[in-house]
Amino acid sequence: MISRFFKNLPPYTRNFYFLFTFFFLIWMLFLDSNDVFTQLRLSRKLVDLEAQKEYYLEKIEEVRKDRHELLSDSDLLEKFARERYMMKKPTEDLYIIVAEE
């Protein structure tokens, strides 16, 4: 039965190297843990992570610049503390105005 099946196949498909290569390709393309679909998914994820890295590097540089400005200028530091953390001098009153949406 099996020998009949193999006799009906073209001669090159009965070759050991052809069969080995065919099964190897099927295994690598679909069955392996590093198949094509996984590689494509990981490639897209890498691109997304690199974009996030660029964003965060820009934010870090922006924060460093702001920090340098705040530490070098006492007037700017006072303004920042008043606006951001609502700090005030002991003789002042603080009024917070919330805009309606």
Assess whether 19 and 6 both reside in one domain.
yes
Same domain, 50 and 19: no
C-alpha to C-alpha distance for 84 and 68, rounded to whole angstroms: 17
Number of domains in the chain: 2
Tell me the per-residue pLDDT of 7-20, one tens digit each, with 9 for 90 and over: 777 777 778 888 89
Tokens representing 25? 């390709």
pTM over 0.85: no
- Same structural domain for residues 45 and 85? yes
Range of the domain at 78: 37-101
Give per-residue pLDDT as tens, 34-65. Answer: 888 899 999 999 999 999 999 999 999 999 99
d(CA 79, CA 15) in angstroms, rounded, equals 82
